Amino acid sequence: MSGTGALLAFFTGWSLSFGLGRALAALRRWRPQRPDPRLLLLLLVAFALRVGGLTTQSLWRDEVDALRFGRDLTAEVAAAFRVGAGAGWTRLAELLARPGFNGPLYFLGLFQWVRLAGDSEFALRFPSAALGVLSVAMGFALFRRHLPRPAARLTAFWLAFSPFLVWYGQEAKMYALLVTLFLAAWGAVEAARRDPGGWLEAVLWVALGLYSHILFVLFVPALLALGIHRADRRSLRLLMLALGLVLLVDLPLLAWQIPQLVEWRGGIHAACGETGFPYVPPMQGLGMLAWGFSVGVWGGFPDWGWIPLSALVALGLMAGRAGGRFRAALGIWALSPWAFLALISLCRPLFVERYLIAAAPAWLALAAAGWARIPGRLPRVLALACVLTPMAVGLWAQTALPLKSDFRSAARVVAEGYRPGDLILFHIGYVQHVFDYYFRRPYEGAWAPATIYRTPEGTYAMGEAEVDARMRALIRGHEVVWLIYSEAAMWDDRDLVRRWLDAHGQLQARWVFTLVEVRRYEGFHLP
For residue range 162-181, list pLDDT tens digits in order: 888 999 999 999 999 999 99
- Choosing from 373, 400, 427, the residue where a domain stops is 400
Total domain count for the chain?
2
CATH number at residue 497: 3.40.50
Could you give the dihedral angle defined by the CA atoms of residues 288, 292, 294 and 297, in that order, rounded to the nearest 10 degrees?
Answer: -10
Gap between the Cα atoms of 384 and 386, Å rounded = 5
pLDDT of residue 15: 46
> What is the reported pTM?
0.86
pLDDT of residue 232: 59
In a domain, 149, yes or no: yes
In a domain, 47, yes or no: yes
Helices (H), 170-219: 175-191, 197-210
pLDDT of residue 51: 95
Same domain, 234 and 350: yes
In a domain, 527, yes or no: no
Same domain, 71 and 213: yes
Helices (H), 432-515: 432-439, 464-475, 496-504
pLDDT of residue 405: 92
Same domain, 326 and 230: yes
Same domain, 368 and 498: no
In a domain, 83, yes or no: yes
Gap between the Cα atoms of 395 and 399, Å rounded = 6
pLDDT of residue 85: 78
Same domain, 365 and 463: no
In a domain, 464, yes or no: yes
Instruction: Supply the range of the domain harboring residue 274.
Output: 3-400
- Choosing from 400, 434, 449, the residue where a domain stops is 400
Rg of the chain over all Cα atoms, to the nearest angstrom: 25
Same domain, 384 and 329: yes
Gap between the Cα atoms of 484 and 507, Å rounded = 13
Same domain, 276 and 161: yes
The torsion angles phi and psi of 335, rounded to 5 degrees, stand at -95, -35
- Choosing from 400, 415, 431, the residue where a domain stops is 400
- Exposed/middle/buried for 159, CB within 10 Å: 0-12, 13-18, 19+? buried
pLDDT of residue 287: 60
Same domain, 344 and 443: no
Same domain, 361 and 433: no
pLDDT of residue 496: 94
- DSSP letter (8 states) at residue 171: S
Same domain, 82 and 127: yes
pLDDT of residue 2: 47
Same domain, 441 and 351: no
Helices (H), 401-443: 407-417, 432-439
Q: Which residues of the chain have pLDDT under 70?
A: 1-35, 96-101, 229-239, 253-306, 319-323, 348
The one-letter code for the residue type at 176 is: A
User: 103-137 burial by CB neighbour count: b if 16+ within 10 A, else e?
Assistant: bbbbbbbbbbbbeeeebebebbbbbbbbbbbbbbb
In a domain, 71, yes or no: yes
Same domain, 447 and 331: no
Gap between the Cα atoms of 314 and 505, Å rounded = 60
User: 494-503 burial by CB neighbour count: b if 16+ within 10 A, else e?
Assistant: eebbbebbee
Sign of the Cα torsion 38, 39, 43, 44 reads: negative
pLDDT digits (tens, 9 = 90+) for 110-142: 999 999 999 999 999 999 999 999 999 999 988
